Homo-oligomer: A and B are copies of this chain.
Amino acid sequence: MKQSRLFTKTKKEYPKDEQSINAQLLIRAGFIDKLMAGVYTFLPMGLKVVKKIENIIREEMNSIGGQEVFMPSLQPKENWLKTGRWDSMDDLYKVKDKSDREFALGPTHEEIIVPLVQKFINSYKDVPFYVYQFQNKFRMELRAKSGLLRGREFLMKDLYSFHLSEEDFNEYYEKAKKAYFKIFERVGLEKQTYITFASGGSFSKYSDEFQTVTPAGEDTIYVCKKCNVAINKEIKSEVKNCPKCNGDDFKEEKAIEVGNIFPLKNRYTKSFDFSVADEKGEKRELIMGCYGIGLGRLMGTIVEIFHDDKGIIWPESVAPFKVHLISLKQDEEAEKIYNELLKNNIEVLYDDREMTAGEKFADADLIGIPIRIIISERTIEKKSVEIKKRAEKESKIIEIKNIEKFLGNY
């Protein structure tokens, strides 16, 4: 894409109404726009990052048998009355239509998925199965001041699993954990992310959280110094020792909850009287699990981890483009290289704007595309370009004919 054609622009000033690093950088670099507290628009480059994260999650959810659906946001009050959450869920947005019929604006989809699958599942032979979606969620958050980390409207992947027995659920739970670690590894967060023993909310004693350590975190966790597991502060008074090694030597850290897995047991299948006959003809209530990842929150977390004082440093797997091609008054040569890269399906942002080298480099640092290729008079004379990785200080000169080989090896 040619940068001159992008309708967004970078901003020099930090937005005054944002305290979080992720929102400050993402707004300044033109990835998101704030509509109001906790509600953001994804701009062209921001949406590219979201789509990359979405595809990584989709691949991993498909690999553990997930079937993708798309459920509505407008949800009947009756379903929420059945589970008791119409009155108990504090952050539920409620809407009325002309005839004063009320609806919930989906903050989660247990109330929809259970009666939905119930229409199709009649026998133990149909179980287990796993259904997921990417959907906008709505939650009336009181404090929404952490940029993409806590939204009132936010994109989420939610998977629901259905099982005949606790044992089968536990088995799938382990598979899902592995898929989650694969996701955090693929987006570059494997070093900072710990599985964390946490409160299960109202329906289960404990749950598993995936917490990414960063000073921006709103949670406090205790990481076992021996194992790669942690305990959330909220249950530290009950759980004194490491659930894995039984040790008691912890490091206190701030962390962001980037994913969670809840054992729902029969909490929702009971509400909708969802059971099937087992092999002996006996009625069995199904056991459920719920597995969430917030896409915007994950994007914000990546920015909290990967940035310096000049801007964002995207991991290649989620970067909006692989290459930032910068022409320093060498548009003819740059255009040739640009077309060559496009022809080879390399995602490239081409800075064809009329600006000084300093302005272009500052923007490139702020935007944070992994590889920068600079076309200047000095190197073009030698049929070469200057290549610099965003994450590294040094640049190198390579011949134009070797660009693709370089990018292929990268």
Which A positions have Cβ atoms within 8 angstroms of B? 5-9, 30, 33, 35-36, 39-44, 47, 50, 65, 67-76, 93-95, 97-98, 105, 112, 116-117, 119-121, 126, 129, 131, 136, 138, 140, 142, 152-153
Contacts and interface: CB of A to CB of B under 8 A. Distances in A.
B5 A65 contact: yes
One complex includes copies of this chain to the number of 2
A119 B41 CA distance: 13
Given A41-B112, A70-B41, A70-B47, A7 B126 contact: yes
Contacts of A97: 93, 140, 152
B93 A40 contact: no
B120 A9 contact: yes
Contacts of A140: 97-98
Contact of A73 (B5, B67, B73): B73
Contacts of A117: 7
Contacts of A98: 140, 142
5 smallest CB-CB distances across A and B, nearest first, come from: A42-B70, A7-B129, A44-B67, A41-B71, A39-B72
A98 B121 CA distance: 39
B95 A93 contact: yes
Nearest to A78: B36
B95 A68 contact: no
Contacts of A152: 74, 97
Nearest to A128: B7
A41 to B, nearest CB: 5
Most B CB contacts (10 A, CB to CB) among A8, A47, A76, A153 go to A8
Contacts of A142: 98
Given A7-B121, A35-B71, A36-B74, 15 more contacts: A35-B72, A35-B74, A35-B75, A41-B70, A47-B68, A47-B69, A72-B153, A74-B152, A74-B153, A93-B95, A97-B140, A98-B140, A98-B142, A105-B105, A136-B136
